[in-house]
């Protein structure tokens, strides 16, 4: 894997509201991940940023920055410290796709989950028509574990959701 792109993880700030609002309402992004189909307001975008920035949140969110520009979001949600697992998510600005940023971000996030949060299993759910994302996760050593048949309804059709996982023991060998 080419690995020469530079990214930084950072907190989201109030000033990021505009770009996150833009991503929240971008149809090309929205049809690729789960979530409600309605438009999202700036007010609720700001409230969401504040809510998830709270240290008590069960969601660990990072802004992905390259050359001082916020280019995407990623994080771990449903963090469970009994079973030591969490669900990974990522979203990249469409203009920044295909440059290796997401590959770098997922690898960094998986390492953070295992090394800093003491997770043992990181899982994710991806629509079976999201070939770009599936390729990305396979490149980052996630394995397909199962299919939730016709689990989401998008643009007039039911789609299968694929569950993919990476275990700590896999990452020790491969990361
Ligand atoms: C899914 C998503 C994060 C994937 O992003 P991406 O642009 O494919 O991923 P990367 O930035 O790592 O780019 C990888 C591509 O860049 C290429 N690339 C270029 N330079 C590279 C480098 N230095 N290092 C690694 N890859 C590089 C790779 O070869 C790869 O191309 P390929 O897919 O044709 O093989 C992005 O499409 C997205 O945000 N989609 C909408 C939200 C979404 O679907 N989220 C996932 C829900 S489960």
pLDDT tens digits, residue range 143-162? 999 999 999 999 899 999 99
- Please report the pLDDT score of residue 2 as a whole number: 56
Cα-Cα-Cα-Cα dihedral of 88, 93, 97, 102, to 10°? -30
Structural domains in the chain, CATH included, are 8-123 (3.40.630.30)
| Nearest atom (ligand 1) to Cα of 105 | 12
Determine how β-strand 143-154 pairs with β-strand 85-92. Answer: unpaired
For a ligand 1 pocket test, name from 103, 105, 128, 140 the mutation site with the most ligand atoms within 8 angstroms of its C-beta: 103
CB of 130 sitting under 6 A from ligand 1: yes
d(CA 167, CA 76): 14
- CB atoms under 10 Å from CB of 8, counted, come to 13
Contact yes or no for 43/51 (Cβ under 8 A)? no
pLDDT tens digits, residue range 43-101? 999 999 998 888 777 899 999 999 999 999 999 999 999 999 999 999 999 999 999 99
Answer yes or no: is pLDDT of 137 > 90: yes
**Average confidence (pLDDT) over 108-131:** 97
CB of 100 sitting under 6 A from ligand 1: yes
- The alpha carbon of 56 and the centre of ligand 1 are apart by a number of angstroms equal to 31
Give the contacts of 144 (CB within 8 A, at least 6 positions apart): 162, 163, 164
pLDDT tens digits, residue range 8-30? 999 999 999 999 999 999 999 99
Tokens in use for 52? 């998830």
The structure's pTM equals 0.94
d(CA 71, CA 165): 25
pLDDT tens digits, residue range 26-38? 999 999 987 778 8
């Amino acid at each position: 894997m080419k690995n020469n792109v530079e990214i930084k993880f950072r907190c989201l700030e109030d000033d990021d509201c505009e770009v996150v609002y833009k991503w929240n309402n971008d149809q090309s992004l929205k049809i690729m991940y789960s979530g409600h189909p309605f438009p999202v307001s700036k007010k609720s975008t700001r409230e969401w940023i504040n809510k998830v920035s709270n240290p008590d949140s069960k969601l660990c969110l990072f802004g992905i920055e390259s050359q001082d520009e916020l280019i995407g979001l990623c994080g771990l949600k449903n963090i469970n410290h009994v079973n030591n697992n969490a669900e990974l998510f990522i979203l990249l600005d469409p203009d920044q796709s295909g440059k290796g940023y997401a590959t770098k971000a997922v690898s960094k996030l998986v390492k953070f989950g295992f090394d800093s949060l003491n997770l043992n299993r990181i899982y994710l759910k991806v629509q079976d028509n999201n070939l770009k994302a599936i390729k990305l996760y396979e490149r980052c050593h996630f394995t397909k574990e199962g299919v939730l048949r016709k689990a989401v309804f998008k643009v007039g059709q039911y789609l299968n959701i694929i569950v993919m996982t990476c275990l700590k023991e896999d990452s020790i060998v491969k990361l």
